[in-house]
């Protein structure tokens, strides 16, 4: 293993920079050259590569976003597109590629590995929607951003004795909403993994009001969506003034938390070790605080399990 490349792909996530830094520094430590690829697979196809040294990754561990930029690239979904990418890597003498992204990016990495390029994937997404790993890079930071927003919304909804409905990202995964609900003490958490009944929700809100609650926080995962309509429905049925807030892309930015920086550093370093061991088409992750790796296909085939126990805890203690 003489030369590797690193790229970030799909939606950005805080901690991607810490992952890039770990890959670059670990590779250089072992005498391996590193090229950075800008704009994900799209930059790879267009030959947007540059040589990275220690200083290329100085002063980035604390920054959100990704210094390599990121992109979504339709052309990479075609065989011709991936062949172009593999040719570019070969022309640069690159033996292996580290991809930080979500399941779509991993699928791309898997397919390009069939063209003779060794690949390893790092889980970079705020959604925490990859079944094979307990946590993804960016989830903890996004969670803390959501928590900060919820704390502020609680202040104003308490002052006005309102209901506050907050829509939280996560694609089809309810983890961000669930963890934010636990950490922020939300009265109701609505996620795609669990059925919910609007009538019951309104009944709970009215019971809360009757028992002396002067605010009510309802978190809705974007996989369920419709925060605006839900707020109108709640106001009509309960007669309590209700406001909706869609947190949006604010959840994707910000300086990564210590937990995300440490996770990204551990995963990035392990990715380089795997490549040095001659492994390919692997993804790295964390399970029970141990760094693990797995075949990409196996990882993508794993079915996500929702933490029903944690959801039940929230139901019991946040009511």
Which residues of the chain form contacts with ligand F6P (CB under 6 A)?
11, 102, 125-127, 169-171, 222, 252
Q: Tell me the closest approach of the beta carbon of residue 278 to ligand ADP, in angstroms.
A: 24
Is 11 annotated as a binding-site member? yes
Contact range with ligand ADP by CB under 6 A, out of 6-14, 27-35, 197-205, 228-236: 6-14
Q: Tell me the closest approach of the beta carbon of residue 12 to ligand F6P, in angstroms.
A: 8
Closest by CA position to 169, among listed 310, 9, 12: 12
Lookup: tokens for 217: 């926080």
Q: Tell me the closest approach of the beta carbon of residue 90 to ligand F6P, in angstroms.
A: 31
Residues 6+ apart with CB under 8 A from 214: 158, 161
Give the H/E segment covering residue 286.
strand 282-287
What is the number of alpha carbons within 13 Å of residue 172 lying toward its C-beta?
7
96 has which bridge partners?
4, 118
Of 33, 34, 36, 41, the one binding ligand ADP by CB under 6 A: 41
Cβ proximity to ligand ADP, 10 vs 65, nearer residue: 10
Q: Is 125 in the site for ligand ADP (CB under 6 A)?
A: yes
From edge to edge, which strands make up the β-sheet containing 163-168?
Answer: 188-190, 216-221, 163-168, 242-246
- Tell me the C-alpha distance between 98 and 40, whole Å: 11
Q: How far apart are the first and last CA of the chain?
A: 56
Closest by CA position to 231, among listed 190, 268, 270, 193: 190
Cβ proximity to ligand F6P, 65 vs 102, nearer residue: 102
Is 193 annotated as a binding-site member? no
Of 8, 9, 141, 238, the one binding ligand ADP by CB under 6 A: 9
Q: Which does 1 bind (CB under 5 to 8 A by kind): ligand F6P, ligand ADP, none?
A: none
> For tokens 């920086």, what's the residue?
261
Annotated binding site for Mg(2+): 103
Annotated binding site: 11, 21-25, 72-73, 102-105, 125-127, 154, 162, 169-171, 185-187, 213-215, 222, 243, 249-252
Contact positions vs ligand ADP (CB under 6 A): 9-11, 41, 72-73, 76-77, 101-105, 107-108, 111, 125
């Amino acid at each position: 293993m003489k030369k590797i490349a690193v790229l970030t792909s799909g939606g950005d996530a805080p901690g991607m920079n810490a992952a890039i830094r770990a890959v670059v520094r670990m590779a250089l430590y072992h005498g391996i050259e590193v090229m950075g690829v800008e704009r994900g697979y799209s930059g790879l196809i267009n030959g947007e590569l540059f040589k990275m040294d220690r200083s290329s990754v100085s002063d980035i561990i604390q920054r959100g976003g990704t210094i390599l930029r990121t992109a979504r690239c339709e052309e990479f979904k075609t065989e011709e597109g991936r062949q172009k990418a593999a040719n570019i890597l070969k022309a640069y003498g690159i033996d292996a590629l580290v991809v930080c992204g979500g399941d779509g990016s991993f699928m791309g990495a898997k397919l390009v590995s069939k063209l003779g390029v060794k690949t390893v994937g790092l889980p970079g997404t705020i959604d925490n929607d990859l079944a094979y790993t307990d946590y993804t890079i960016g989830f903890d930071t996004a969670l803390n951003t959501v928590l900060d927003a919820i704390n502020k919304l609680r202040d104003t909804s308490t002052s006005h004795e309102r209901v506050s409905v907050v829509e939280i990202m996560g694609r089809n995964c309810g983890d961000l909403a669930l963890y934010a609900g636990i950490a922020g003490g939300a009265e109701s958490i609505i996620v795609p993994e669990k059925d919910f009944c609007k009538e019951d929700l309104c009944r709970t809100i009215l019971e809360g009001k009757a028992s002396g609650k002067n605010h009510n926080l309802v978190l809705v995962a974007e996989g369920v969506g419709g925060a605006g309509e839900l707020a109108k429905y709640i106001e009509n049925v309960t007669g309590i003034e209700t406001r909706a807030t869609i947190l949006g892309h604010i959840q994707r930015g910000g300086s990564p938390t210590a937990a995300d920086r440490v996770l990204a550093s551990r995963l990035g370093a392990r990715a380089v070790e795997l490549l040095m061991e001659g492994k390919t088409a692997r993804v790295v992750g964390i399970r029970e605080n141990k760094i693990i790796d797995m075949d990409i296909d196996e990882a993508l085939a794993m079915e996500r399990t929702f933490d029903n126990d944690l959801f039940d805890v929230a139901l019991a203690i946040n009511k």
